[in-house]
Amino acid sequence: MSKADIGLIGLGVMGANLALNIAEKGHTIAVNNRSTAKIDAFVEAAQAEGLAERVLPEADLVAFVQSVKKPRSIIIMVKAGKPVDDMIEQLLPLLDEGDAILECGNSLFSDTQRRFDYLKPKGIGYLGVGVSGGAEGARHGPSIMVGGSKAQWHDAEPVLTSIAAKFKGEPCVAWLGEGGAGHFVKTIHNGIEYGDMQMIAEVYGVMRDGLGMDAAACAEVFKRWNEGPLNSYLIEITGHVLEAIDGESGTPLVDMILDRAGQKGTGVWSAIAAQQLGVPATAIEGAVAARSISSRKQERIAAEALYGKRQGKVDITIDDLEQALLAGKIVSYTQGFSVIASASEEQGWGLKLATIARIWRAGCIIRSRFLDQMASAFAGDAATNLLMVPAFATLMKEASPALRRVVSSGALGELPLICLSSSLAYFDSYRQARGTANLIQGQRDFFGSHGFEIEGRGADLHGDWPSLVEQAAE
Ligand code: NDP
């Protein structure tokens, strides 16, 4: 075979599927992996799919790099963190000016920015590429969020465009901005995914514990919802998960799965980024907190023994739950996009919210009908807060009363709705022209002389608190 169009290192779950996708789209690909067993297994898989003639397996890194056409595009799909830095160091002496490394794992965006800055003066392009859609997406069409060196993006663009998911024929891939922009957007995508999943789980909890519905009945509801405004991949798979029956016991599988959720870090990174930027992201924070509480199973068992079982009755309808989920989702996406807009401003990335919504419409875990509406809304409006975009303001006005009914009924029924209730609280805080931070400012000045502002009198004013207290006591 002549030289390969592109190279890929790391034939784990994601790397192997991406490589098969690339070969299937007609590109030749050189592949390499630390352990040779994975190279052999990959070659077998490529043979089974009739793609072996486009695959160039190379266990030796030097031979691998030399087998890729110049300017080289080399994908790294290894474990995030130190393995990425180690791989960059191994590749560096083997690459030529103008070549590019495309790192496609779930890397922390600040690591990507650091690597981009490190490689730029050496003439090596660095692209931090967020890939969403799991193994299935990698194999048949993921959503691809590219950040980093623009020149080298153009070299890799034909391959990435051909393998990306398509929404009505439009590829779900875009170069979003320099440095860590792609991985930042992927991180917030995952944060939004956490919020979506948690709100779905909360609604399921209301159906199960508040309305006494079994898994099959819940599955029916989610299937129906998937035909309406909530239509999305996560609603669809929720229906499938709820209807699955365990072959051994004959009972719903979901009832047997332990109620302890795992997390790998992107949700926490999203929440930290939001906090550092000073952007409220209560839905993401709530979702991360809910997973942490879920992992403390023994503590929860002890607490239930102490406080007693929840009474769990609610007075709401399935339609209320659908509308509540829609309203919660609007708030969660509002927050996620606000975090992105703020980071873009701080980093000078020039991120386009409409483009991001567009490339999330297919291939990724949060793909939904809703994102198509969002792409149009951001395209036609300068607002970065979705709640202020007219089309979404109309939706929110219609759906928020149901969110209020669900949250209040859930609270009285002792059902935990961390994400839904924090979304409602955000909405109510955001829409109040007169808040309560006047009191906070008074307190801050009282104990720390931090100052406050009075319209018409100026900023950085102080109260003479000892005499004000004395005066009030008289
Ligand atoms: P796997 O665990 O399936 O594969 C990990 C790969 O990394 C293997 O090829 C492994 O090689 C290689 N590797 C690990 N450590 C080193 C090292 N020190 N030096 C060289 N190679 C190393 O992982 P995934 O494919 O699931 O994930 C890869 C990346 O993609 C991660 O960043 C992950 O977060 C991200 N991701 C995963 C998704 C998923 O759904 N799984 C979705 C989106 C992104 P070896 O065979 O030698 O061990």
Tell me if 129 sits within 8 A of 142, measured CB to CB: no
Residue 294 lies in a domain: yes
Q: Indicate if 165 and 225 belong to the same structural domain.
A: no
Tell me if 363 sits within 8 A of 455, measured CB to CB: no
Residue nearest to ligand 1 atom 29, measured at CA: 105
Note the Cα 359 to chain centre separation in Å: 13
Pick from 8, 9, 11, 13 the residue to mutate for probing ligand 1's pocket: most ligand atoms within 8 Å of its CB: 13
CA 123, CA 67: separation in Å to the nearest integer? 20
Judge if the beta carbon of residue 230 lies within 6 A of ligand 1: no
Ligand 1 centroid, distance to 80 Cα (angstroms): 7
Q: Indicate if 265 and 131 belong to the same structural domain.
A: no
Q: ω into residue 71 within 30 of 0, thus cis?
A: yes
Helices (H), 9-149: 13-24, 36-48, 61-66, 82-91, 109-119, 134-140
66 CB burial (10 A radius; 0-12, 13-18, 19+): middle
Residue 232 lies in a domain: yes
Ligand 1 centroid, distance to 16 Cα (angstroms): 10
407 CB burial (10 A radius; 0-12, 13-18, 19+): buried
Helices (H), 312-436: 318-347, 353-359, 369-380, 390-412, 418-430
Q: What is the reported pLDDT for 264?
A: 86
State the helix-helix crossing angle for 418-430 and 318-347, rounded to 10 degrees.
60
The DSSP line for 342-377 is HHHHHHT----HHHHHHHTSSSSTT-BHHHHHHHHH
Pick from 78, 104, 145, 233 the residue to mutate for probing ligand 1's pocket: most ligand atoms within 8 Å of its CB: 78
Q: Indicate if 260 and 395 belong to the same structural domain.
A: yes
Residue 460 lies in a domain: no
CA 273, CA 189: separation in Å to the nearest integer? 13
Residue 435 lies in a domain: no
Judge if the beta carbon of residue 129 lies within 6 A of ligand 1: no
pTM of the full structure: 0.95
253 CB burial (10 A radius; 0-12, 13-18, 19+): middle
Q: Which residues of 67-225 form beta strands (DSSP E)?
A: 73-76, 100-103, 125-132, 143-148, 166-167, 170-171, 173-177
User: In ligand 1, which atom is closest to the CA atom of 9?
Assistant: 9
The DSSP line for 263-302 is --SHHHHHHHHHHHHT---HHHHHHHHHHHHHH-HHHHHH
User: In ligand 1, which atom is closest to the CA atom of 80?
Assistant: 32
Ligand 1 centroid, distance to 435 Cα (angstroms): 47
Judge if the beta carbon of residue 106 lies within 6 A of ligand 1: yes
Instruction: Report the sign of the C-alpha dihedral through residues 8, 12, 17, 18, in that order.
Output: negative
Residue 441 lies in a domain: no
Q: Indicate if 332 and 397 belong to the same structural domain.
A: yes
Whichever domain contains 26, its CATH number is 3.40.50.720
Ligand 1 centroid, distance to 15 Cα (angstroms): 7
Residue of 145, 181, 159, 146 whose CA lies nearest to 72:
159
Residue 213 lies in a domain: yes
Q: 182: which 2 tokens?
A: 């792609």
Judge if the beta carbon of residue 37 lies within 6 A of ligand 1: no
Strand partners, 74: 7, 101
Residue 465 lies in a domain: no
Backbone angles phi, psi at 132, to 5 degrees: -120, 145
Ligand 1 centroid, distance to 133 Cα (angstroms): 15
Instruction: Give me the residue label for tokens 């991120």.
Output: 351
Judge if the beta carbon of residue 78 lies within 6 A of ligand 1: yes
Q: Indicate if 371 and 297 belong to the same structural domain.
A: yes
Judge if the beta carbon of residue 11 lies within 6 A of ligand 1: yes
User: In ligand 1, which atom is closest to the CA atom of 264?
Assistant: 34
Mean pLDDT per 10-residue segment, the chain (474 residues): 94 98 98 97 97 97 97 97 98 97 96 97 97 96 97 95 97 97 97 98 98 98 97 98 97 98 92 97 97 97 95 93 98 96 95 96 95 90 84 96 98 96 97 97 98 97 98 94
Q: Indicate if 156 and 251 belong to the same structural domain.
A: no
Q: Indicate if 163 and 250 belong to the same structural domain.
A: no
Judge if the beta carbon of residue 287 lies within 6 A of ligand 1: no
Q: 343: which 2 tokens?
A: 């980071």
The amino acid sitting at 436 is: T
Note the Cα 432 to chain centre separation in Å: 28
User: In ligand 1, which atom is closest to the CA atom of 38?
Assistant: 46
Q: Indicate if 175 and 273 belong to the same structural domain.
A: no
How many domains is the chain partitioned into structurally?
2
Tell me if 142 sits within 8 A of 165, measured CB to CB: yes
CA 417, CA 420: separation in Å to the nearest integer? 5
CA 161, CA 22: separation in Å to the nearest integer? 10
Instruction: Give me the residue label for tokens 């229906």.
Output: 239
Whichever domain contains 355, its CATH number is 1.10.1040.10
Residue 392 lies in a domain: yes
Ligand 1 centroid, distance to 64 Cα (angstroms): 19
Q: Indicate if 368 and 286 belong to the same structural domain.
A: yes
Q: What is the reported pLDDT for 332?
A: 96
Q: Which domain holds residue 125?
A: 6-179
Q: 46: which 2 tokens?
A: 């490529």
Q: Indicate if 51 and 156 belong to the same structural domain.
A: yes
Identify whether 186 is a catalytic site residue.
yes
Instruction: Report the sign of the C-alpha dihedral through residues 328, 231, 279, 81, in that order.
Output: positive
User: In ligand 1, which atom is closest to the CA atom of 104?
Assistant: 30
CA 68, CA 27: separation in Å to the nearest integer? 12
Judge if the beta carbon of residue 131 lies within 6 A of ligand 1: yes
Q: What is the reported pLDDT for 381?
A: 67
Judge if the beta carbon of residue 328 lies within 6 A of ligand 1: no
Q: Indicate if 226 and 348 belong to the same structural domain.
A: yes
Tell me if 428 sits within 8 A of 396, measured CB to CB: no
Ligand 1 centroid, distance to 79 Cα (angstroms): 4
Tell me if 192 sits within 8 A of 333, measured CB to CB: yes
Judge if the beta carbon of residue 12 lies within 6 A of ligand 1: yes
Q: Indicate if 173 and 240 belong to the same structural domain.
A: no
pLDDT digits (tens, 9 = 90+) for 188-235: 999 999 999 999 999 999 999 999 999 999 999 999 999 999 999 999
Residue of 288, 28, 16 whose CA lies nearest to 136:
16
Judge if the beta carbon of residue 303 lies within 6 A of ligand 1: no
The amino acid sitting at 88 is: I
Identify whether 166 is a catalytic site residue.
no
Of the residues 58, 103, 178, 186, which is catalytic? Answer: 186
C-alpha to C-alpha distances, 269 to 104, 281, 292, nearest whole angstrom: 17, 12, 14
